[in-house]
């Protein structure tokens, strides 16, 4: 079987910087029309100058220009003033502001501690029409972190009715009803939360390459996410949360959170949607919904996917001895992008 879809969008992507950026960016740029690029560098991308400079590094590393791969840049929420937000909005490629609760995930120490403090920035974003992307977890028992955070989403959605708020990488059944409850709430979903549960991560030998924030959840959570995505839920967009770490930061005590799946996203998604009789919903999930929700540019070309096998390397190598293991490292995938390259 062979299908053609519009060049897709990845609405939540970590590209990093330096050698890791040079390794990771081409994997996304080759087949994607664009991606929402996360700002959790050290230090975070928190003002217009940092955003402009990071965008040029991303385009250079992608080996492309903004015509074929559009990096949509984000600012790390840090109580920016209205003038600072306006300066960011003038910057080419600026897209949204990302809220990290302090300490919730990789490089988020400088995130929001007190939502009261963030009020003026959120109010200004609402006025300026700047979307808010939220890493939706708080402290507490790891399986229920997202559930504990749902009142925060409700509160934000009520207090800022004109603000477009995206629940980034939803992972539980409990988050889904909020999409019906509030017109201004949207969500991204990852490949790994559609594929895996806690048993895959820790039910047998520990699989550190499946360890991410938010953690993969219960079978009933995965089933609810699948049902929503495979039925073509109009408010759920694909956001891979592909988040590369060097192999020695994953295969160690104190492993970093993050699944590196940018190279295998399209074959793995095609296989999963095909197995579930949902191939006709793939294009909407991979861009149609985002285009409607955010007014992204019209499609630029197609990507063909076919059910022909492809072997995934054990790792990808970058500069200075950098090695990164992709999802499905060393295995054979049943689908591939028809040009034979990894995405
Ligand atoms: C991400 C990272 O490594 O930057 N890690 C992850 O587990 N997903 C940060 C994030 O999105 O939480
Ligand atoms: Zn992320």
Please give the share of the chain, as a percent, with pLDDT higher than 70.
99
- Centre of ligand 2 to C-alpha 14, Å, is 6
> Which residue do the tokens 């192999």 mark?
247
* In the predicted structure, residue 101 carries a pLDDT above the cut 70: yes
Q: Which residue lies with its CA nearest to atom 5 of ligand 1? A: 258
Q: Identify which of 241, 245, 255, 327 to mutate to test ligand 1's pocket (most ligand atoms within 8 A of the CB).
A: 241
Count CA within 13 A, CB hemisphere, residue 338: 11
Confidence of residue 148 (pLDDT cuts 50, 70, 90): confident
DSSP string, 231-242: TT-TTEEE---B
Provide the Cα torsion 174, 237, 232, 329; round to 10°. Answer: -90
Set 241, 261, 307, 311: catalytic member? 241
- Centre of ligand 2 to C-alpha 166, Å, is 13
What's the chain's length in residues?
343
In the sheet where 2-6 sits, what is the strand order?
2-6, 302-306, 336-337
Please give the share of the chain, as a percent, with pLDDT higher than 90.
87
Write the pLDDT tens digit of every residue in 65-78. Answer: 777 899 999 999 99
**Can you tell me the mean pLDDT for 310-318?**
97
Mapped onto helix, strand or coil, the DSSP state of residue 36 is strand
Tell me whether residue 200 is one of the annotated catalytic residues: no
**Can you tell me the mean pLDDT for 12-19?**
98
- Centre of ligand 1 to C-alpha 245, Å, is 10
- Centre of ligand 1 to C-alpha 106, Å, is 5
CA distance 58 to 44: 15
Write the pLDDT tens digit of every residue in 16-65. Answer: 999 999 999 999 999 999 999 999 999 999 999 999 999 999 999 999 87
**Can you tell me the mean pLDDT for 159-172?**
97
Neighbour-count burial of 321, counting CB atoms closer than 10 A to its CB (0-12 exposed, 13-18 middle, 19+ buried)? exposed
DSSP string, 206-219: --GGG--SSPP--H
Peptide bond before 214: cis, by omega within 30 degrees of 0?
A: yes
DSSP string, 119-165: HHHHHHHHHHT--EEEE---SSSGGGHHHHHHHHHHHHHHH-TTS-E
Residues with CB under 6 A from ligand 1: 14, 40, 105-106, 135, 212-213, 241, 243, 257-258
pLDDT the model gives residue 94: 98
* CA 10 from centre of chain: 6
**Can you tell me the mean pLDDT for 316-332?**
98
Q: Among candidates 188, 179, 4, which has minimal Cα distance to 96?
A: 188
Write the pLDDT tens digit of every residue in 215-242. Answer: 999 999 999 999 999 999 999 999 999 9
In ligand 1, the atom with minimum distance to the C-alpha of 244 is: 3
**Can you tell me the mean pLDDT for 127-134?**
98
CA distance 205 to 252: 14
CA distance 272 to 37: 25
Which ligand has its closest atom nearest to the C-alpha of 108?
A: 1
* In the predicted structure, residue 139 carries a pLDDT above the cut 80: no
Confidence of residue 107 (pLDDT cuts 50, 70, 90): confident
> Which residue do the tokens 């609402």 mark?
126
pLDDT the model gives residue 141: 66
Work out the mean pLDDT of the chain and round it to a whole number: 95
pLDDT the model gives residue 331: 98
Q: Among candidates 163, 222, 156, 224, which has minimal Cα distance to 194?
A: 222
Q: Range with the lowest mean pLDDT among 38-47, 123-132, 137-146, 285-294?
A: 137-146
**Can you tell me the mean pLDDT for 152-179?**
96
Which ligand has its closest atom nearest to the C-alpha of 257?
A: 1
Phi, psi for residue 177 in degrees, rounded to 5: -60, -25
In ligand 1, the atom with minimum distance to the C-alpha of 212 is: 7
């Amino acid at each position: 079987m062979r299908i053609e879809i519009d060049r897709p969008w990845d609405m939540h992507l970590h590209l990093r910087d330096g050698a890791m950026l040079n390794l990771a960016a081409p994997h996304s740029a080759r087949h994607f029309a664009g991606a929402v690029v996360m700002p959790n560098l050290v230090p975070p991308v928190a003002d217009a100058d940092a955003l402009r400079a990071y965008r040029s590094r991303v385009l250079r590393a992608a080996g492309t220009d903004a015509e074929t791969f559009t990096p949509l840049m984000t600012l790390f929420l840090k109580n920016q003033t209205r003038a600072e937000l306006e300066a960011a909005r003038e910057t080419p490629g600026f897209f949204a502001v990302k809220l990290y609760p302090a300490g919730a995930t990789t490089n988020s120490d400088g995130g929001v501690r007190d939502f009261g403090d963030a009020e003026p920035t959120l109010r200004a974003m609402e006025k300026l029409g700047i979307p808010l992307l939220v890493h939706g977890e708080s402290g507490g028992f790891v399986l229920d972190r997202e559930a504990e955070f749902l009142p925060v989403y409700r509160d934000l959605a009520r207090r800022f009715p004109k603000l477009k708020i995206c629940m980034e990488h939803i992972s539980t059944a409990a988050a889904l009803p909020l999409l019906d409850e509030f017109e201004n709430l949207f969500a991204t979903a990852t490949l790994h939360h559609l594929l895996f549960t806690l048993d895959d991560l820790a039910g047998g030998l520990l699989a550190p390459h499946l360890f991410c924030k938010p953690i993969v959840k219960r079978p009933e959570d995965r089933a609810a996410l699948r049902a929503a995505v495979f039925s073509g839920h109009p408010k759920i967009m694909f956001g891979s949360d592909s988040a590369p770490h060097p192999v020695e930061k994953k295969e160690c005590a104190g492993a970093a959170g993050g699944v590196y799946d940018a190279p295998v996203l399209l074959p793995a998604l095609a296989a999963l949607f095909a197995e579930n009789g949902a191939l006709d919903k793939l294009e909407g999930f991979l861009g149609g919904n985002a285009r409607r929700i955010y007014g992204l540019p019209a499609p630029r070309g197609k990507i063909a996917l076919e059910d022909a096998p492809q072997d995934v390397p054990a790792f990808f190598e970058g500069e200075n001895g950098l090695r990164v293991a992709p999802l499905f490292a060393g295995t054979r995938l049943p689908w591939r992008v028809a040009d034979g390259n990894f995405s």
